[in-house]
Amino acid sequence: MSTPRIAHRTTHRLSINAPADLVFSMLRDASHWPYLDGLTVYSERVSGDDTTHELRTSVVSNGSLSSSHCWRVFNAARNRAEFQQLNLEAPLQQLGGDWEIRQADGLTMVTLNHAFEVDDEHLAERINGIIEDYGRRELEALRVSCERLSLLLQHHAPQGQPAIQPETHPAEQPAPQFTAQFATGEA
């Protein structure tokens, strides 16, 4: 009899002093991450477009270099992105999550959720710690990058003109949902 899988979840939230559309744009375009976030050393969109794509990255995580592939689905109308890691190695069986970006009280609130399953529950706490650390670092890097870019755009806007905003996309069709299902349970 196999051991039932338990979905472990993490949630991180951070306020960013930059427009929500700018934050969403920075998240969607990973080509600049190696120059901005201090975590990513390589990033390439392997296939797809601005709505759905496969992304290959190499990052410094837990003191060492690791590479990954993920499938990302974006809904610009809702400022939301979902991701699912591909080609995972044991002990990870599933790893995915979502980004939610919303304007609140003059700031942008960013929520990063992760969900993962492992084949060895004894390693769940260690993996949770790695995801917790990386999630906090990733959000902080996003905050610093977005706030710097927002200030630059404000500073270089012609007098009497609003700051230049990143490219906005018209409302998109609802994004397809991932087919992977996480088992119910709590970490």
Answer yes or no: is 36 within a domain. Answer: yes
pLDDT the model gives residue 80: 97
CATH number at 18 reads 3.30.530.20
- DSSP-assigned letter for residue 17: S
Answer yes or no: is 181 within a domain. Answer: no
Window from 79-88, 118-127, 137-146, 173-182 with minimum mean pLDDT: 173-182
Answer yes or no: is 165 within a domain. Answer: no
- DSSP-assigned letter for residue 63: T
Domain count, the chain: 1
pLDDT at 65 over 60: yes
Q: What is the phi/psi pair of residue 14, to 5°?
A: -155, 140
Q: Give me the half-sphere count of Cα atoms (radius 13 Å) on the Cβ side of residue 87.
A: 10
Q: Which residues lie below 8 Å from residue 153, measured CB to CB, with a gap of 6+? A: 22, 163, 164, 165
CA distances from 115 to 75, 132, 182, 184 (A): 20, 11, 8, 11
Answer yes or no: is 170 within a domain. Answer: no
| Tens digit of each residue's pLDDT (9 = 90 or more) over 102-138 | 999 999 999 999 999 998 888 999 999 989 988 998 8
Answer yes or no: is 122 within a domain. Answer: yes
Bridge partners, residue 12, by sequence = 112
Answer yes or no: is 173 within a domain. Answer: no
Bridge partners, residue 180, by sequence = none
**Angle of helix 124-155 versus helix 20-28 axis, rounded to 10:** 120
Q: Which domain holds residue 50?
A: 8-155
Cβ atoms 129, 152 nearer than 8 A: no
Answer yes or no: is 104 within a domain. Answer: yes
Answer yes or no: is 174 within a domain. Answer: no
pLDDT at 175 over 60: no
| Tens digit of each residue's pLDDT (9 = 90 or more) over 13-38 | 999 999 999 999 999 999 888 887 77
